[in-house]
Structure 1
C-alpha cells in the first residue's frame, strides 16, 4: 500500500517535517468557489482578501481543466493537459494561487477522474476524436471503456433527432470540410466554433460528416463512397438518440450519453490524464484534492493508492455517499468523504420527530397513498431505471455473465433471461452504491454481507426456480469459485466483478437520488444527496455517537452544509425543517392556499407538483429583514405587511419545479416532456406568487415561525463549523441564502455586499438581519478554527458531549488532549421551547475553565458549571464559547 497508515485510516496528518512539501498539512476549513465564465481565476483572486478575513484556510475550487464549449461547471473535461482558457488559463490559475498564498490561504482542487465530455463539436475532445477516426487502432482506444465486439465494431453515437434512415432521406447528414487546429487552442480558437480563427497558428483541413452542429471525422479511404455506405463504414455508428438507452456500447456517467467514462485503472491512462494535476500538487500550487465520484471507477482503492504515491500523501477527500452506518473502506488512501453523511445528520438533528405524522398526512392527502412507503417508492424507481435509461448497461452486464456461463459446461444451463432477471433484481435490491470487491482479492466481510443481504431481498421477488441462477450470480459478483473447479480468475469473470460494481452505483444514483427522492414529498428537505429521509429525525445522543465515531475514524474529512450537488441549500432545508415543528399549522396553511388557488389550479396539476410547490415557497421565503434587530416590533406588526412579501422569484421557482418534476418522471421527464402538464404547473406557480391571499398566508407563516427558522439556520451552521472534520463553506452560504438545485445554487454571489456587512460586524455594529447573524456565526467559528487548529484538526483534537438538562439544547466541546478548548451550544426544536414557555430553569453544565467562558458571538462571559440556558442564549439561539482568558 502507498501512503502512511495514518493517512489511510483517516487519523490526523502529522505536522510536516522541515523541508517537506506544504501540502502535507491538512486544511482547517475550505470555501467552495464555483468557477466558470461568471467567476474566472482573476475574479476569484479579487475575493481572496474577503475570504481571508472571513477566516477560511483554503480555497476549494471546482474543476479547472479545459471543459466542453459552453460548460458552466467544469465536470465535462475535454483536455487534461490544459487549464480552462475561459477561466484564465494556467497564468490565471497561477495568479489566483499567488494571491491565495500571499493571504495565507491554500488551495484544494476538484478532480474528475471518471469521465470526459462527448462535446459538440467532437474535435474539442482530441482523444475521443482520434478514436472516432481510427477506432481500435487509435492510440487513445485504451482510454475509453468501449466494447468493440458489440455494435458491429463501431462506437455508438446516439445523437440523431430522428432515425438514421430518416436523417439520410431528409439530407440532414452531409459531408463538409472544416479546419481543426493542429495544437490545443490557446485563445486563438473560439471554443464555441468548429473552425480555427483566421490568425490561428495552424490547422488541418479535414473532411467531416456533419449533422447540424455535430461533426465527426471520416474514416481514411471512405470519402468518395456513396453517403449511406460511407456512414456504414465508419468506426462509429450514428443513431437515433433513444437507441442509446438500449444498445450503448461504451460506459458513460450514469445515463448521461454526453459523458464517456475514462479507464484510469490503466496506468498509462492515469498518467496521461493526471500529469498536469499532479504537477499542480507537487509544485505547491495545489495543496489537496477532492475526487469526484470514485464509485464510478473500476478500482477506487487502486486509484487512491496511485494518487497518494504520486502526490506524496496529499490531503485527499472523496465524493463518496455512505448508506446508513456504512464507512469508507479502511484501506483507501483518503482522509474521508466530502461530508454528505454529516449534512443529513445535522439537518435531521434539528427536525422535530413529532411532526412526521402530520406531514405524512398532508402528502397522502395531496398525492394519494404511496404503497410501501419510501421503500416501495425506491424499489419502483430502481425497477424503472434498470428497465429504462440504464437498460443498455444491464444488458451489457447480462451479456458478460451469459458469456461466462456459456464458457463453463457446469454453468451453461443458466440462460440469458434467467441471468438478466437475477442481475436486475440484485441491482434493485442493493442498498448502497456498491460493495468493494476486487478480482483476485478475498472480499471484506462488509462487502460480502452487502451482496448477500441484497440477494436475500432479490430472492423474495424472483420466481423460486431462479434461485440456483441467483446463487451463481452472487458467487460471480463476489469473485468466488463457481462452476468447474479452478474457474475463478478469468478475464471475463474479473470484468464481471468490476462492471457489476459500476452498474450498481449508477442504478442507485439514478433510482434513488434522481428519481425516488423527487417523488417522496413528506418533508422534501430530507430527500438530499446521500440522505436518509426514512430516519426523519435524529436525537442528540445519536448525534453525539456519530460525531465521536467521526472524530475517531475520519477527523480530517470534509463536513458540508451546502454543496454544488445538493438539491436544496442549507437554509432552504432549515426553513423546511420548521414545518415539522408545527405540522398542524402547516396542514392548515396548505388547505388555505389550496382553497385560494383553486380557481386557477388546472385539472392537470397533480398532488406531487402541489406539495413540492408549497414546500418550496416555504423553504425559500426570505424572513422579515427587521426580525433580527427589532423583534418586539416584529412580533406586534400584522403579518402580511408589504415588506414581508419576500418570495422567491417566479422564474427560479418555475425552473426548479420543471427540473424536479422531470427528475421524478411521473407525469413528465427529460426524455418525454409533457408540455401541457408543465404549463399547468407553471401557471399555478406564477399565479400563486401574485395572489395576495397566498402571499399573506405564507407571510404569516414566516412571521409566526421566524424564531424557529433563526434557531435552525444558525444552529445547523454553527454545529457544522465546529463539529469534527474540516469545515466547508459553500459560496454565499455564510449569509442566509435559500437556494435550490443547480443551476440555481451556482448563481453569482454578491461578495461585495458580504464583505461590507462583515466589515460592519467587525467594527462592532449589531446584526441587522438573520443574514447578518449567520455571517457573524460563520466568521467567528471559522476564525476560531484558524486560531485554534490543534483543537479542531490536530492529532490531539477531540469531541466531548456537554451535559444539558434539556434535549432542546445541543452542547459539545472540542478538546485538545482531553481538555475542553471551545464549547458549542445550539437551540434545537425552538417550537418546543416556545410551547413549553421558554427555557425556564434548564441548564448547560459548562466544563471547568479558569476565568469562565467567553461567547465569541456576543462577548458575554459565563461561569463554569451549571449555567441557565436562558442566560447563555439571551441574545442569540447559539453560543460559541472559549476560555475567558484565552482566544
Structure 2
C-alpha cells in the first residue's frame, strides 16, 4: 500500500529498539494501524533519545538495532500487511561531541575540507578572529579560564595517528600542517624524521591524501614503539605550566576552529544553527551533492521496499522548500513504482495555505491539531479568562503583546548572530550601488529587525527572486508593522529592503532616492547587483523569520501567557481562543479538496501538553467565571507557601516565587495532568505527580525567560519555585489545597473525557490520515518532553484489545479503556471500508433543536457507502451532576436532531461505538436521544461491526 490508512508514531532510541517494536507488531496490527511512523533512524549522537541530532546520514542507528534490526521489523510488518514511514532530518546535523565525521573534517581542514560546503558556514566573518574559522562555542566558562584550569588539553589518538584537542566530550582535530611543530617540540630524532613527512603540507585538497599517509606512518610508529615519544611531545603543550599553556594557546589559534564560551554563540556564531541550539548545525541540502549524501540511505531503503514514505522534519529551515520537495518526489518516483507518501512538518497560521506547488501529501497534522483543539473551547470564556489572567499576572491580556516582546528578546539575545548575518547580506547588496552605498549596516539591521518582529507566519517562498501574491498576504503585514514602528527617516531604507527581499525584479530594484538626493553631474543609476546576492539575502531572511517565530511564540510567549494553557500548543495561536463548528467543517472541506491524505495529529513528540490534558483544560472555558474565582481563591489559600528570594516562607506582595503568572500557570497544569484515579490521600501518587510537574515547571520557567532562563539560570529562584510546588502538594494539604484541586478535577473530568473522545473520533473520521502517538491509545496526561516520551506499557494495551463495543467500557472510563476501544473500532472501520474514510466526500450535516450548539455532525460518502459521525460538543452544562458517566442523559437532548441525507432515510444504520441501531425518522431526522443514548460519540454505518 502507498498512502497509509493510519499511522502510529514510535520514538526509537537505545531503550526502545527496532526489536522492541517488532515484539509489539501483533498489537499494532490488532489495533488496526496500517503503518508505523518512525522517529529518525539514522545514526545520532550517542545516547540520543530523539534522533534529531544525526551525525551519520549513511548508517541506520546501531543503538536502535542497526539496519539488520530495522529489516527484521519491516519483514514482520510486511507479514501483517503493514508498512513503515520514516522521519528524515535534512535541515541539520548534530555537531556536539566527537561523532560527526563531516564536521570533524571541517574543524580539521577548514574551508578546504571536502565537507566545507555541506554546512551553512560564513567563512568570511567580519570578525578577523573568525575568518576562515568555525566558532566552537562549547566551553562552560570563558576560554582563558578554561585554558588556565587545564580543561583544554592536547591528545593523540593512537588508533588513527591524529592529534586533537579535547574539552569534555568535545573534540577539535588539529590540522596536520601543525603536526611537524608538535613532533619537533620533543627534540627526538625518531619524531623528527616523522615530522619531515608533514613539512610543507598545505590545507589544499591535493595535500590531504599526503597528510593521511603521514598520519598512517605516525600510527604505525606508535603501534610499534608505544606512546612514550608522543607523550614527550604532548608534555610541551600541557596546560599546567604557563610556558606550555601559551604554546597550546598559540597552537589553538592556528586551527580552523575557535574554542569559545557557550554564551558567545548567540552573538558570534558564524554558521547556521537549528534555532538557537549550538550543537545542531544547518545543512546545505539545496546543493545537489549534499542532497544526495543526506538522502542516500532513505533512497536505498525506499528502492529496496523497506520504507513506504518519508516525513520531512522542519521543512521551513531549508533554503528552498519548494525545490527540495520537487526534487525529493522526482527521485523517489524514479526509484520505485507507485506513489511515495511524503508529508512535511510545517506550521501553518490560520488561513495560511500549504503551497500547491509542493508535491507532497500535506503536513504532519499540526493544523488539524489546532483546529480540533480550538473547537473544544467555548468562545464565551475568552474574555473573562483573559481579564482574570491580566489581573492575576500583571501581564497583558493579549497574546500578541507577549509574542511581540518575545520576538524582540529572541532577536536581541538568542539569534543576534543570525540577524547580523542577514543584515550583512543586505549591506553587501547596498554597497554594489552608488545610490544605496550609504544605507548603513546599522540602518539595515534596524529595518530588518522590525520586519522580522512583525512577521505573522514562519516565512515566505519567493520564486525566481520575487515574492508571490501568497507571500505578500503575510509579508505586507510585516511591512506595515515595520513602517509604523520605524522612524520616518528609515522608510526609504525599508522600501529598498522590500525590493531586495523580492518586492521587485533585480533589474527593477533601483535604489529608492528622491530628487533632493540626486547629485548634479553624477550618474545616479544603480550599479548592477546579481540576482544571486538577492536570493542569498532572501534565504537568510526566511531562515531567520522561521526560527524567530518558533523560539519567540512556541518556546517563549507560550510559556508567558496563561489565559488558558490548552491553547498554548505547537502550531496553535493562543490569541485564537475558539473556532465554530462551521469553521471546523470549512477546514475539513478544504483539506479534503487540497490535501486529502495529510496527517491528522492530536499528540506528537513535541507537544507541550498531552491531548487529554488539553481536552480537560478546555472545559474551563465553559465554566470561565467559576474558574477565575477558583484561581484567585487558590492564590490566597497558598499565599503562606510563597518564597522570598532569601528562601524565607510566608505571605508577601512583591518579588516572590513563583510569582503570580507562574503560579496561575502551575494551577492550570496541575488541573490538566492530575491522573483520573489519583486520590489526594495517595502520598506516593501525589509525590510522583509533583516530580513530573517540577520537571515541567523548570522547563517552563526557563523557556519564559523572565526571571530565569537557559542562558542565565537563577537556581535560587528555581529552587524556591520547586519548594512552593512541593509545599502545596504536601500530605498536610490533603484537606486543603489538595482537596480543592482534586475537587475541581472531578467536576470537569467527565466533560474532559467527552472532549477527549470527541477529538479522537474527529481525528479518525475527518479527511486525512489519522496519526496516533505512542501510548495515547489510553488517556494521555503527559506534559512537555521528556514527560511525553516516557516508556509505554504496550503489554497492558495489548491485553485490553477486545472486540467488545467501546460503550461497554464507559462505566470504567477513568481507566482509559473506552478510548482504546474507540480507536480500535474506528481503525477497524477504516480497514473494513478503506475508501470511505480515506477518499470519501465530506458532508457537514445540519443540527436542529434545543441543544444544536452542542453537537458536531457530518457524513462521509464514497459511492454507495456512508458513515455518519456525531459527537457531543461543549458538554459541561448538559451533564447530570448526580451521574459519574461522561455522557449527556438521553432525555436532556430533547428535540435535538441531525438532518440526515435523503439517501439514508430508509436504510438501517448501526453504531460502531455501541450496540445501538438508531432509527432515522420518516421525516429524515435522527434524534440525539437515540444516537447518543449510550456513548457521547456515534459513528453510524450500514454495515454492522465485523466479528472475529
TM-score, normalised to structure 2, is 0.84
Separation in 1 of the partners of 2:312 and 2:108? 31
Alignment-derived partner of residue 623 in structure 1: 676
CA drift of 1:160 comes to: 1.4
Residue 175 to residue 642, structure 1, CA distance change in 2 (3 Å): closer
Secondary structure (helix, strand or coil) at the match of 1:682 reads helix
In structure 1, which of residues 842, 851, 871 is the aligned counterpart of residue 930 of structure 2? Answer: 871
CA drift of 1:886 comes to: 8.1
Separation in 2 of the partners of 1:586 and 1:762? 35
8 A Cα contact 1:621 1:647, kept in partner: no
The C-alpha deviation readout for 1:515-562, integer Å capped at 9, x for no partner, is: 111111000110111102212011111111111111101101000010
8 A Cα contact 2:465 2:531, kept in partner: no
8 A Cα contact 2:124 2:132, kept in partner: yes
1:131 and 2:87 correspond:
no
8 A Cα contact 2:764 2:826, kept in partner: yes
Residue 370 to residue 684, structure 1, CA distance change in 2 (3 Å): same
Separation in 2 of the partners of 1:94 and 1:825? 41
CA drift of 1:239 comes to: 1.1
Alignment of 1:205-220 (within 5 A): 205-220=161-176
Residue 166 to residue 643, structure 1, CA distance change in 2 (3 Å): closer
CA drift of 1:417 comes to: 1.0
Separation in 2 of the partners of 1:164 and 1:369? 39
In structure 2, which of residues 871, 878, 893 is the aligned counterpart of residue 833 of structure 1? Answer: 878
Alignment length, in residue pairs?
821
1:855 and 2:855 correspond:
no
8 A Cα contact 2:106 2:116, kept in partner: yes
Secondary structure (helix, strand or coil) at the match of 1:478 reads helix
The C-alpha deviation readout for 1:18-38, integer Å capped at 9, x for no partner, is: xxxx5xx21111000111122
CA drift of 1:173 comes to: 1.9
8 A Cα contact 1:174 1:210, kept in partner: yes
Alignment of 1:387-398 (within 5 A): 387-398=412-423
Residue 804 to residue 43, structure 1, CA distance change in 2 (3 Å): same
The C-alpha deviation readout for 1:304-340, integer Å capped at 9, x for no partner, is: 1111111114110000010111011110111110111
Separation in 2 of the partners of 1:618 and 1:600? 19
In structure 1, which of residues 811, 814, 822 is the aligned counterpart of residue 867 of structure 2? Answer: 822
Alignment-derived partner of residue 400 in structure 1: 425
Alignment-derived partner of residue 884 in structure 2: none
CA drift of 1:374 comes to: 1.0
In structure 2, which of residues 695, 702, 709 is the aligned counterpart of residue 669 of structure 1? Answer: 709
1:813 and 2:859 correspond:
yes
Separation in 2 of the partners of 1:752 and 1:227? 56
Alignment of 1:485-496 (within 5 A): 487=528, 489-496=530-537
Secondary structure (helix, strand or coil) at the match of 1:838 reads helix
CA drift of 1:854 comes to: 0.6
8 A Cα contact 1:320 1:337, kept in partner: yes
CA drift of 1:281 comes to: 1.1
1:337 and 2:335 correspond:
no
Separation in 2 of the partners of 1:547 and 1:88? 39
Secondary structure (helix, strand or coil) at the match of 1:494 reads helix
Alignment of 1:594-633 (within 5 A): 594-602=635-643, 603-624=656-677
1:175 and 2:175 correspond:
no
Separation in 1 of the partners of 2:931 and 2:290? 58
CA drift of 1:398 comes to: 1.0
Alignment-derived partner of residue 21 in structure 2: 44
The C-alpha deviation readout for 1:460-513, integer Å capped at 9, x for no partner, is: 000011000001111111163323568364332221111111111111111111
8 A Cα contact 1:437 1:498, kept in partner: no
The C-alpha deviation readout for 1:333-387, integer Å capped at 9, x for no partner, is: 111101111111101111111112232233123211417x211111110011111
CA RMSD of aligned residues (A): 2.1
Separation in 2 of the partners of 1:762 and 1:855? 9
Alignment-derived partner of residue 7 in structure 1: none
Secondary structure (helix, strand or coil) at the match of 1:168 reads helix
- Which 5+ residue runs of structure 2 have no aligned equivalent? 183-246, 334-338, 511-524, 644-655, 881-887
Alignment-derived partner of residue 741 in structure 1: 784
Larger RCO (CA under 8 A, 6+ residues apart) = 1
Alignment-derived partner of residue 140 in structure 2: 161
8 A Cα contact 1:622 1:647, kept in partner: no
In structure 2, which of residues 598, 602, 618 is the aligned counterpart of residue 577 of structure 1? Answer: 618
Of the structure 1 ranges 125-134 and 693-702, higher mean CA displacement relative to structure 2 is found in 693-702
8 A Cα contact 1:559 1:725, kept in partner: yes
Alignment of 1:431-510 (within 5 A): 431-438=456-463, 440-478=464-502, 480=504, 481=506, 482-483=509-510, 484=525, 487=528, 489-510=530-551
Residue 867 to residue 506, structure 1, CA distance change in 2 (3 Å): same
The C-alpha deviation readout for 1:630-675, integer Å capped at 9, x for no partner, is: xxxxxxxxx9787998786111100001101111101110111111
Alignment-derived partner of residue 267 in structure 1: 288
Separation in 2 of the partners of 1:29 and 1:293? 22
Secondary structure (helix, strand or coil) at the match of 1:759 reads coil
8 A Cα contact 1:207 1:217, kept in partner: yes
Separation in 1 of the partners of 2:683 and 2:388? 29
8 A Cα contact 2:686 2:729, kept in partner: no
1:109 and 2:86 correspond:
yes
Separation in 2 of the partners of 1:455 and 1:762? 56
Of the structure 1 ranges 475-484 and 302-311, higher mean CA displacement relative to structure 2 is found in 475-484
Alignment-derived partner of residue 299 in structure 1: 320
Alignment of 1:499-578 (within 5 A): 499-578=540-619
Secondary structure (helix, strand or coil) at the match of 2:161 reads strand
Alignment-derived partner of residue 451 in structure 2: 426
8 A Cα contact 1:451 1:474, kept in partner: no
In structure 2, which of residues 790, 799, 802 is the aligned counterpart of residue 756 of structure 1? Answer: 799
In structure 1, which of residues 784, 787, 803 is the aligned counterpart of residue 829 of structure 2? Answer: 784
8 A Cα contact 1:114 1:263, kept in partner: yes
The C-alpha deviation readout for 1:197-230, integer Å capped at 9, x for no partner, is: xxxxxx4132111223322101113243621210
Alignment-derived partner of residue 197 in structure 1: none
In structure 1, which of residues 104, 118, 130 is the aligned counterpart of residue 95 of structure 2? Answer: 118
1:27 and 2:4 correspond:
yes
Residue 769 to residue 760, structure 1, CA distance change in 2 (3 Å): farther
8 A Cα contact 1:479 1:488, kept in partner: no
Separation in 2 of the partners of 1:387 and 1:643? 45
- Which 5+ residue runs of structure 1 have no aligned equivalent? 1-21, 180-202, 626-638
The C-alpha deviation readout for 1:393-433, integer Å capped at 9, x for no partner, is: 00111111111101211211211111000000001110000
Of the structure 1 ranges 362-371 and 398-407, higher mean CA displacement relative to structure 2 is found in 362-371
CA drift of 1:99 comes to: 0.9
Alignment-derived partner of residue 61 in structure 1: 38
The C-alpha deviation readout for 1:711-739, integer Å capped at 9, x for no partner, is: 11111111111111000011111111211
8 A Cα contact 2:155 2:164, kept in partner: yes
Secondary structure (helix, strand or coil) at the match of 1:705 reads helix
Separation in 1 of the partners of 2:788 and 2:807? 31
CA drift of 1:171 comes to: 2.7
1:356 and 2:399 correspond:
no
Residue 412 to residue 769, structure 1, CA distance change in 2 (3 Å): same
8 A Cα contact 2:805 2:912, kept in partner: no
In structure 2, which of residues 73, 83, 96 is the aligned counterpart of residue 96 of structure 1? Answer: 73
Separation in 1 of the partners of 2:377 and 2:530? 50
Larger of the two Rg values belongs to structure = 2
Separation in 2 of the partners of 1:245 and 1:33? 33
